[in-house]
Each structure stands twice: as C-alpha cells, then as structure tokens.
Structure 1
Amino acid sequence: MDTPIPDAPPNAEQIEYWNGAVGLRWLAYNDWLDERTAAYGRAAFAAAAPQPGECVLDIGCGAGATTFELARAVGPDGAATGIDISAPLLGRARERAAALGLAVEFLEADASRPPFAPQRFDLLFSRFGVMFFDDPAAAFAELHKTLKPGGRIAFACWQDPQLNDWYERPLAAIAHILERAPVDTRQPGPFAFSDPDHIREVLAAAGFAQVELAPFATPFYLGRGASREAMADDAMEQVFRVGPIARLLEPQSEQVQAQARGAIRASLLELADDHGLEVGGAIWVVTARAG
C-alpha cells in the first residue's frame, strides 16, 4: 500500500520563494524598493491612523520600514510587531531596529496562521504584504481573531495591472517578441487584490465590516540619472529587479533576450525627462473594522 504524500503546509510555495533567491534579491535592493513604495505606504498609514498606546501588527513587514513608522506613532506606551516569512529580510529588520534603538518585535511566521493570542491588536497594517495568501478568506479570518473588539485593518494593494505601468510597460514593449500568460488575479501575487469586489468578498467572509476602498495613484520612479540615457539604463536595472520580466526572459535564447532588452530600453527611453523616468502606479487603500 502506497504511503500518502502529505499535503504541503499553507503558503509553502511563498515561504520557499521569499527565503530563496527572491528574498535575497529584495534584501539587496531593499532601500530602493522602500523609496519607490514609500508614497503608497504613507497613503495606507494615513488611513490606518495609528494612535499612541495602541498595539499594532505589520503584516509582511519585510525589512521593517513600515514597522518602524508604526512604532514611532504608537510611542513607548504602545507596541509594534512585524511578521514576515522571509528570514533574510527579517534579519535586516532586526539590525535596523537595534541601530535605531526602537523596541520592535519581529517574528518569522506565516501571517495566515498568526501565532498570537486572540484580541491582542488594535490595528493590523500592511504595505503590499497581504496578497500572497493561498487561502485569503481563511487567512483574514485568522487575522480577524487577533483584533480587539472594534479593532481595524488598513492595507495597500495594487490595482489592476493595466493601471500600473511599472508592471505593464516592459511587457507591452516585448509583446511582438514574446507571448505572455494573462495575469490570474485570483492567485497569490501582486495583483491578487486588484478586484475591489474580491476584496470585499474576502474581508466580509473573514468577519470584517465597514469595508472601504480608496484609490490612490502616484508616479513610481524607475530611473534616475544625469541624462536620459543614464535614466533608461537605471530603469533597465529596476525592471529586472521587480516585475515579471526576469522570469519571462530567463528560459529564452540569447538572441531573444537581446531583442527584448533593446525593445524595453527604447520604450523606457521615451518616458525620460528632466526629472527622471517615471511610470504610473495605482493602489487601493483598504480599511475595515472587526465585525
């Protein structure tokens, strides 16, 4: 009789993903990523409105930039905890916390199975950290349990890919060279919460009430430099740091890769001006209350 193969634990693929080459790449370019996503985080932070003395959880905290802001907002009478599945990024977060002298707790754990006592937190917060759950409704139901009565959640998630040129423009530039699969917005990934109806369904199923979505858009800077050409070169590096291009081109021949790189660079060069090379970025700022 064959021994049954046990099911993989929840989010096993994402845990492996963020502790492998991707996690190390994000660690290497973390400062760059924090800078480019700071404006989106500030929009979600304003909606979250953390108060002195509150206990807050930063979901998918990465290297800790948003957790530190939360810690400053809640002050010495409050408590800020960051949770993430990426050991490399959490290592950086702990180093930064020590250097800043902030009493912040960082926990390597899966936020879809939060290891906290019920009703611990006043606020759950996330900047692009909630779109990677295998089972979003179940994950948010577990997170809901950690909120105090009347507690709230606030997070930033990307809107439709077509509204985010940092993702779409490089792909459009090589559409005549390579065919790409459509984005499945119901699978874990950056656009898993791009559909507002899906967000409302997931949060309602998890027990949240007063779900509100506010659109927010601001430029996402890809390239900077002393000349348009330097901006395009800088932007090319960024395109291969974030987004799907690196994965899409990896199995292709050197000839196809060279052709694609040329097409992407030409497309980016068209956007460069005196201020830099910027592309569009659009998010939802989502807020809700514990039901």
Structure 2
Amino acid sequence: MTGIHPSNADAATAWDGPTGDFWADNADMFDSGVARYMPPFLDAMEIEPTSHVLDVGCGNGLTTREAARRAAAVTGVDLSARMLDIARRRAAAEGLTNVTFTQADVQVADLGEARYDRVISRNGVMFFGDPVAAFANLARALKPDGRMVLLVWQTMADNAWFTAFRRAVAVGRDLQLPPPDGPGPFALGDPDRVRSLLTAAGFAEPELRGVREPTYYGRDVATAHRYVSELVGGLITELDDAGRAEATAALRADLEEHLGPEGVTYPAAMWIITARRPEA
C-alpha cells in the first residue's frame, strides 16, 4: 500500500496486518455486535437516490452495502486489504453494482474536490494520527453543504464492555489505558474535543446525538468467550501459564454474568455525529 501519512504508519501496518485479520475473521460477529446502532445511524445519513457517498474505514463493507441500497454510488475506503476483499465479494454476491472499494489512507489520499454528498463512517475514524488533517481532507471531498455522519464510541466510562474485559484479564496488573486524545477506540468520545477537531478541519459546528444500546458478543458464553479471548488476546499472552488460566477463568465468569435471553450483552454508548460543510 502506498500513500500513507507518517503519523498513520503504525495504524496502517496493524490494520493491513494482524488487527485487520482479526476483524476480517470476525466480520459477522462485529456486525451483529453493533447491529442495534445501525437503524438510527442509517436514518441520520438521510441518503437520497442521487447521493454519492464515501464510507471511511468501511471494513468488511456492511455500511457500504446498506448505503448502496439507498444511493446512486458509494465508495468504501479502508486500510485492510483482507477486509476490502470480503467487502467486494459480499457486495458482488448481493448484486450491488454501484459500489467500489479502495485501499487508502484518507489522511493523504486524493478523494476529489466537492465530490460526495455524504461522508459516513461506522467506528472507522477514531484512529487517525492527525485527525484535523484527515477531517480536513474529508471536508474537501464533500460538496458544499454536504453532510458527514459518524458513529463512534462515547467515553470508556460509558462503555462497560471495555472496562469489564480489561479488568477480567488484568490479573493484578495496572494496564495502560489508551490516551483520551490519541488514536484509539474512544478518541472521539469527548464532545468538546469532537467540536474542536471538526471545526478546525473546516466543518460547521457538529451535532452529537447519544445512543445507548447493548453490544452483543455471542449467543452463549462459549461463543462469546472465544471471540472476546481473541479480542483481548494480546493482554492474555503476556501472562505466564498461571496468569493466563486466571485471566481466562475471570473472563468467562464475567461473560456468564452478562448472559441473558438475547445472549451475552454489555451496556454501551455511541455518538452519532453529524457535521456539515458550510456552503461556499
């Protein structure tokens, strides 16, 4: 892959490597996990039949395909070659001919000038090395008065799944948390930071709508345990044999506590962020 901004080099290596491989292998599980957020997210896009849409961090392409059913044309962009391959195959299997997929770093990619009516992203814009530069590039790609609609996690404190999983596998360690203002899943959790970044990038004042829905990890504890063990696998493999056994048991116990009629679920919260490019 060419055209990677230096601040995104580590992210590109991870997403076009082991991180992307994990999410490619668990495409359906992630889609199911955040499925409750999709209806309000799609409604917020307000895609019209004539719309041209850019899906940023499209991953395995679910949001791209949903947008394509509503739009004239959709382009999905991601760093992961494996996930893009899945996205292409699934779009073809569903007979969608108005979709294209591109491997690129949107922080530096030539996205065109005033090309898109909508820029959308489901959990794909929290990892930029230079978020102002990335969002400025996305603002340039929007048509005047075009709309960007993002689905992002709220803060760590609002997402019990994250703290529960890390607590279960800590085994006496003081695990380092991702910085609140650096690349990571909760980088856009603070509304004030979101407003600052997006207005600095050329957007009008964004609107944030909070949505709270449970996230889903599997129909039973065994399924959830396999999935979450991989999700936090790096933290478990650092331990010795006794520590790994303790972490595995603690994680299973926590998942059992969250098993209900709909499977294993945890409280969670996201923002639906809507930002417009001001008219010229």
User: Which residue does 2:44 correspond to in 1?
Assistant: 47
Structure 1-normalised TM-score?
A: 0.90
Percent identical among aligned pairs is: 39
Q: What secondary structure sits across from 1:113 in the alignment?
A: coil
Q: What secondary structure sits across from 2:70 in the alignment?
A: helix
Kindly name which structure, 1 or 2, has the bigger radius of gyration based on alpha carbons: 1
Q: Distance in 2 between matches of 1:266 and 1:279?
A: 14
Structure 2: 5+ residue runs without aligned partners? none
| RMSD between aligned residues | 1.6
Q: What secondary structure sits across from 1:148 in the alignment?
A: strand
Cα distance, 1:8 vs. partner?
Answer: 6.8
User: Which residue does 1:3 correspond to in 2?
Assistant: none
User: Which residue does 1:31 correspond to in 2?
Assistant: 28
Bigger mean CA deviation after superposition, 92-101 or 37-46:
37-46
**1:276 aligned residue (248, 263, 266):** 263
User: Which residue does 1:21 correspond to in 2?
Assistant: 18
User: Which residue does 2:200 correspond to in 1?
Assistant: 205
Instruction: Count how many residue pairs are aligned between Structure 1 and Structure 2.
Output: 274
User: Which residue does 1:255 correspond to in 2?
Assistant: 242
Structure 2-normalised TM-score?
A: 0.93
For 2:160, the aligned partner's letter is D
- Residues 115 and 233 (structure 1 numbering): CA distance in 2 closer, same or farther, change over 3 Å? same
Q: What secondary structure sits across from 2:175 in the alignment?
A: coil
For 1:110, the aligned partner's letter is D
Please say if residues 150 and 274 of structure 2, whose CA atoms lie closer than 8 Å, have aligned partners that are also in contact. Answer: yes
Q: What secondary structure sits across from 1:240 in the alignment?
A: helix
Please say if residues 114 and 143 of structure 1, whose CA atoms lie closer than 8 Å, have aligned partners that are also in contact. Answer: no
Q: Distance in 2 between matches of 1:102 and 1:275?
A: 31
Cα distance, 1:233 vs. partner?
Answer: 2.0
Q: What secondary structure sits across from 2:270 in the alignment?
A: strand
Q: Distance in 2 between matches of 1:107 and 1:147?
A: 18
Q: Distance in 2 between matches of 1:107 and 1:139?
A: 16
Bigger mean CA deviation after superposition, 21-30 or 136-145:
21-30
Q: What secondary structure sits across from 2:215 in the alignment?
A: strand
Cα distance, 1:118 vs. partner?
Answer: 0.4
Q: Distance in 1 between matches of 2:111 and 2:218?
A: 41
Mapped pair 1:125 → 2:114: no
**2:75 aligned residue (78, 81, 106):** 81
Please say if residues 84 and 90 of structure 1, whose CA atoms lie closer than 8 Å, have aligned partners that are also in contact. Answer: yes
Please say if residues 195 and 205 of structure 2, whose CA atoms lie closer than 8 Å, have aligned partners that are also in contact. Answer: no
- Residues 203 and 232 (structure 1 numbering): CA distance in 2 closer, same or farther, change over 3 Å? same
Q: Distance in 2 between matches of 1:234 and 1:221?
A: 11
Q: Distance in 2 between matches of 1:259 and 1:265?
A: 10
